[in-house]
Amino acid sequence: MKIISHKREMQQMAKQLLSSGKTIGFVPTMGYLHEGHLTLAREAKRNNDIVVMSIFVNPLQFGPGEDYEAYPRDQKRDELLAEAAGVDLLFIPSVADMYDAEMSTKMTVVKRNNALCGNDRPGHFDGVVTVLAKLFHIVMPDKAYFGLKDAQQFAIVSGMVADYDFPVQLVPLETVRDSSGLAISSRNVYLSDREKEQAPSIYKSLLLAKNKIENGATNIGEIKSVVTDYLKCHTDATVDYVDILCYPELAPLEKVQGRVIIALAVKFSKARLIDNIILDV
Ligand code: PAF
């Protein structure tokens, strides 16, 4: 595995690979790798000649008071894990290299962001699409891999790729969970022992909603209350939101029908965790 620290070197390498007929699979990450990222890398390895993974904690997608400085980082460990998962090129640029001059244009998300995490994190998805537009130009992937834990991110990035005709195929993969059902996330390290015991209730609350829907429930308010009450009863976390929307448009629904996402965010003392289930009803 080769480590590349400069965007121009990465772009040069991508051009050479593409002109020699190789396909590039890309896994963008913010590092502190876990099984979710490694699953994406292994899938990329199965379907492309070369796997590029980026590690870049993108300051643009963190708001004031969010955990940009404290975001967990461990490059040595990430290098070992990425190599074992089959990554060929690990791209780790600095902030100065990625954003080397004051930008004269701005990317603003205008759809699919006024819901779920977009409500609580103004500007977050503008930062995500900005960095991904840059990364797609630098890495020039044929396919890019995303986990559906961040289903809103996937919906918004799909919109950007369609709007601007990025020549990349986005590949969504199911959320990776531990044996308790907890969605794997870099932020799980912030959980206290007591919170770790409670956190599996997040997925259980979603399964409860899924079960209700599979048994014919269609009233959105009622299903949301069931999820919220379960979370309040089984965790000390504050419920940021529970919502049921159509997917990927993320628009409100009159009742549960079609392709829907049941999504939630909860705040434990130091970790804000999100999870969701997408259902075809
Ligand atoms: O999902 C993430 O880790 C980030 O939002 C991404 C896609 C790497 C962009 O910074």
Best of 128, 168, 184 for a ligand 1 pocket test (most atoms within 8 Å of beta carbon): 128
Residue 37 is among the residues annotated as catalytic for this protein: yes
pLDDT at 87: 98
DSSP helix/strand/coil, 51: strand
Q: What separation in Å is there between the alpha carbon of 267 and the centre of ligand 1?
A: 20
Q: E strand or H helix at 193, and its extent?
A: helix 193-198
Domains of the chain: 2-173 (3.40.50.620), 186-276 (3.30.1300.10)
Residue 267, both tokens: 């705040």
Prediction pTM value: 0.96
pLDDT at 101: 81
Atom number of ligand 1 nearest to Cα 150: 1
DSSP helix/strand/coil, 160: helix
Is the Cα dihedral 86, 45, 90, 40 positive or negative? negative
Using CA positions, which residue lies closest to atom 3 of ligand 1?
Answer: 29
Marked catalytic residue, from 6, 34, 37, 234: 37
Q: What is the mean pLDDT of each run of 10 residues along the chain (281 residues)?
A: 98 98 98 97 98 98 93 96 98 96 93 94 96 98 98 98 98 97 94 98 98 98 98 98 98 97 97 96 94
